[in-house]
Structure 1
């Protein structure tokens, strides 16, 4: 079982969506992740939202003209995503078992994004496998973008993965670190408790 399932019981979709709706009403920009990704690849590029949740990031990227696919294990989150954007491609699958062929998805994404603490909330011991699965669906020169907390202040669970560990998993999957930031606004990484990492597959 994933740490996310242990934390939420797989029933938090509506509550999660309501939290972001409240942020929007307060005037907060909730599209930092989508804007960050849009700056990395041209409009029309294929994007996989890995751990897409309620679809906030992917729906925005689709609005910006990207060809998007979303995958998540939490049915309650996907219910919200499908209700908000039924025309988009949403699939329920475990990231550790992700097989695009089995889902009828072409495996040539220009960018894979894993936002929202996806990696710290995976099932224990599956982190390297998930990186490998995601790297395998990238087109040559494709990017894996992941943002996650590194300390208790930035996580709903105790810290589970370090940046050196994540970089090792990426290297083993054939990915090279391109850049690292402290926020989705691309602030320079300063060794703090949250990091957004950009890795690239070989050409």
Structure 2
């Protein structure tokens, strides 16, 4: 499995233990490290596909709340770390653009710049849409910076995959989006 150059460069600079410690520090300092899970949980899904799950933080928190979760990431090291933290959960090391599972999910969540780091972005969105149950939601948050997808591009990929815009926020805490460098988009199948 080949990872995009942007992702490989990021991973070369990041130690996975330090990456996970960041979220633990947030909790110790009284900050909420589960904004993504909180937003997804507000829709009360029974099932979720955590796409680009990384070390599993969002999926593990959703599972703790009773959601049936499948975690998928193209980076096998991330999946190894997720499995170590939650061995009873389902984890797959596969490129989301290639995902072909029989399950359909109430929510597919793409937290943490999954879309910009994907090498086949429109195919990733289409694969996520295929894995949504009727009425299911694709929830994706990512930075808006030069060279990365624009919201217009992302919305076009969603429309081509049969998804309709539902909401857009500036943060995972549902702050209204009025422009800026980050957006959380919600599209419905």
1:3-53 deviations in whole A, cap 9, x for unaligned?
2123214974223112222222222110010010011134xx110000000
Matches within 5 A, 1:13-162: 13-42=16-45, 45-100=46-101, 106-123=102-119, 126-151=120-145, 158-162=146-150
User: What's the TM-score once normalised by structure 2's chain length?
Assistant: 0.93
SS at match of 2:177: coil
1-structure distance, mates of 2:133, 2:184: 21
Shift of 1:73: 1.2
Which range is displaced more, 85-94 or 23-32?
Answer: 23-32
The answer as to whether partners of 1:10 and 1:75 remain within 8 angstroms in 2 is no
Distance 1:82 1:74 in 2: 13
Question: Structure 1: which 5+ runs fail to align?
Answer: 101-105, 152-157
**Structure 1 length normalisation: TM-score?**
0.87
1:75 and 1:20 map into 2 onto residues whose CA distance is: 21
**1:6 is matched with which residue?**
9
| Alignment: residue pair count | 186
Q: Give, in whole Å, the separation in 2 of the partners of 1:189 and 1:159.
A: 21
Instruction: Give the SS at the match of 1:91.
Output: strand
Structure 2 stretches lacking a partner, 5+ long: none
Aligned residues of 1:149 and 1:159 also touching (Cα < 8 A): no
